[in-house]
Chains A and B, each alone.
Chain A
């Protein structure tokens, strides 16, 4: 656990942890509002946005990617709403039509353009490149206080940290509103809270978290972290505050354990090649959910008879 760890594993692990937290926080509310699959839809829709942004600017710089992804998310929301209204189609089906079509379009454009010079392909979009976010300038724990080395941190780390902070701050700031609007929309409306705006704001925050995390860790982690840690947390407690704390704990545990298992697991088994960290993080989060579903103290519906 010396210089090599700081150089190769510290930053990817931190980025994974931050991405997991940023997605898990809004995920709690999405799950309680039965909108869990919005995270899934957002993660699919981000791809065409990023591809189009690359086509226009010719670079994979952060800002155009973020703008492109945000634009695509906006297009998707407008399309879903338009199809729902014009065709009188139920929202779930309208969502299914839009996100598969946009994703298919994104893949097609990606395959038709020459992206061999940059790190942009379908597999990268799905699985991210967490392993490659290493901190070359570091030569040990001392680098954490070395300004020159800190300046050479992978740019994803400060970006992900900022987004994670933003998401956390917004959650804390709108805590009461979110809580009331999530559990009793009618009551929230009677209090005069902007219920629709709260719902929309939640989706926007989820999209911001998804877009930032997508770039660093790929869409599998985004979807897994939106759903698995909050779902597991829901089985551990019936209080919202505690649920959020559990979900953050599960998210951190998934990210760290998943990264370690992917990087070092094969070594322990006598093999030399690392496994996909993104895939392993998603797997661990699923396994944690499985454990919570089997043993979680609040795994049953309130009022349901045990063993029913």
Chain B
């Protein structure tokens, strides 16, 4: 299996598998990038209704293709049918949410379940047809790349490339609308048309992804990469391309892993790779990750304990708190038995002076923006100039001996 995986990853597992891998990567990129706009417009779950609404279209297209005399396995024909019924589903969602008192989430759920249910009815009908037994339409539910035809792989790869191109072309108006629809409208953009273009793009991605990811899970490829990308940057332009990159990695790795061994359904594997990338980002992302937050918290805690410990030394008190003791001993400011060293006393004196200066500064200084920065941790020379500090010192008067030592 590992050999198979290595070969697949390096695109050596045959021309078809390589095409599928590339197609999945392109699809993932388009889905991640387009999903970002969807996420920002808070319409991510509309795509779930859209995806589930493709199933009756696939069924009807198959029945029509068979009635026209074919074997009903033309991927392009099935994709066309899927697109038509997805568009219908989207229209129904919009209509229900606009024209009736139902909220959008209810409209989404209703369309999703009713269209999908009707699709299942059609599937059970197709299974009774002569041509339907080997149709393999079930693979549209969860995606399958095993035994994919050359022409299907080409359609998917080409479709993925087109979707990436369309995302790139639409990136500016979609960014504007996603972040500030009001401003976009006032600067002459037709927000409704751009929203429509965005949904059309999402629909195209869904339809292209049917065969690889499957209609139940394609929504994951539209949601997870943008959410993951938010951990790595706060810049809008960057979010789009990072989300695209993450989607591409998930699509490529997922498709190749799934091709390397039997019983590894493509859609779920792609989603799980995307979820793994999400989990890694949640933990390790530099600014917003959990590990970084823990580290920041730990550092802050250490600063507070160090400061409080040194203040205690300055007041001649014994340090009993174990964490503070450990911290100060490690720095050589305190002996293990809790008695301050020479360096520790010097530091304590500095801190005590700092506190005294702050006390004066907060009493006399007019600029609350400066004196308000007192938090018991910031050294005063990080806020005030040497002249100002000299003025505080003049008010404090000459040094006095510390107690304790």
- Please, how many angstroms separate the alpha-carbon atoms of A15 and B239 in the complex? 48
- Contact bitstring A267-308, B, C-beta under 8 A = 1, else 0: 000010111101111110111010001001011111000000
Say whether B100 contacts A101, CB under 8 Å: no
Q: A87-B288, A283-B118 are in contact. Are A234 and B102 (CB under 8 A)?
A: yes
Does A126 belong to the interface (CB within 8 Å)?
Answer: yes
Pick from B114, B141, B275, B282: contact of A224, CB below 8 A: B114
* Chain A min CB distance to B370 (Å): 31
**A-B contacts, CB under 8 A, total:** 201
Q: Which residues of A contact B271 (CB under 8 A)?
A: 100-101, 104
The answer to whether B117 touches A280 (Cβ under 8 A) is yes
Whether the Cβ atoms of B142 and A276 lie closer than 8 Å is no
Known: A96-B219, A104-B267, A108-B269. A275 touches B42 (CB 8 A): no
Name the contact of B103 in the complex, choosing from A34, A83, A105, A266 (C-beta under 8 A).
Answer: A34
Enumerate B99-136 residues with CB–CB distance to A below 8 Å.
99-103, 105-121, 123-125, 128
Complex Cα distance, B114 from A274, in Å, reads 19
Stretch at the interface among B61-69, B222-230, B311-319, B358-366: B222-230
Given A220-B116, A283-B114, decide whether A105 and B121 contact each other with a Cβ distance below 8 A. no
B220 contacts the other chain (CB 8 A): yes
Residues of A within 8 A of B265 (CB): 107-108, 111
State the CA gap A277–B95 with chains docked (Å). Answer: 28
User: Are B223 and A96 in contact, with the CB atoms below 8 A?
Assistant: yes
Q: Is the CB–CB distance between A231 and B125 below 8 Å?
A: no
Q: Please tell me if B96 contacts chain A, counting CB pairs below 8 Å.
A: yes
Please judge, given known A-B contacts A96-B219, A224-B117, A279-B118, whether A101 and B275 are in contact too, CB under 8 Å. Answer: yes
Whether A81 is near chain B, meaning CB under 8 Å from some CB there, is no
Q: Is there contact, CB below 8 Å, between A226 and B44?
A: no
Of A92, A104, A111, the contact of B45 (CB 8 Å cutoff): A92
B217: interface (CB < 8 Å): yes
CA distance A227 to B123 in the complex (A): 23
Do A235 and B100 touch across chains, with their CB atoms under 8 A apart? yes
Give residues 175-218 of A contacting B (CB, 8 Å): none
What 1/0 mask marks residues of chain B from 212 to 239 whose CB sits below 8 Å from any chain A CB? 0000110110011011001100000000
B278 at the A/B interface (Cβ < 8 Å)? yes
Q: Which of A92, A224, A302 contacts B113 (CB 8 A)?
A: A224
Known: A31-B106, A282-B114. A298 touches B120 (CB 8 A): no
Q: What bracket does the count of chain B residues touching chain A fall in?
A: 35 or more
A275-B114 contact given A103-B216, A301-B101, CB 8 Å threshold: no
Interface flag for B268 (CB, 8 Å): yes
Inter-subunit contact B117/A286 (CB<8 Å): yes
CA distance A167 to B263 in the complex (A): 39
Chain B residues, CB < 8 A from A97: 220, 223-224, 227, 275, 278
* Cβ-defined contact, A220 with B263, below 8 A: no
Could you tell me how many residues of chain A have their Cβ less than 8 Å away from some Cβ of chain B?
Answer: 65
A residues apposed to B, CB below 8 Å = 31, 34-37, 39-40, 83, 86-90, 92-94, 96-97, 100-101, 103-105, 107-108, 111-112, 122-123, 126-127, 220-221, 223-224, 226-228, 231, 234-235, 262, 266, 271, 273-276, 278-283, 285-287, 289, 293, 296, 298-302
Contacts A/B (CB < 8 Å), 10 sampled: A92-B42, A93-B226, A97-B278, A104-B275, A108-B265, A220-B113, A224-B114, A276-B120, A282-B120, A300-B99
Known contacts A100-B219, A104-B269, A226-B109; 14 additional CB pairs below 8 A are A37-B105, A39-B109, A40-B109, A86-B293, A87-B227, A100-B224, A104-B272, A123-B138, A126-B120, A127-B120, A281-B117, A286-B111, A286-B117, A298-B101
Binding site for A on B (CB under 8 A): 39, 42, 44-45, 48, 95-96, 99-103, 105-121, 123-125, 128, 138, 141-142, 216-217, 219-220, 223-224, 226-227, 230-231, 263-265, 267-269, 271-272, 275, 278, 282, 288, 290, 293
- Across the A-B interface, give the 10 residue pairs with the lowest CB-CB distance, nearest first: A286-B114, A282-B117, A279-B120, A100-B220, A224-B113, A104-B268, A227-B109, A104-B271, A279-B121, A101-B275
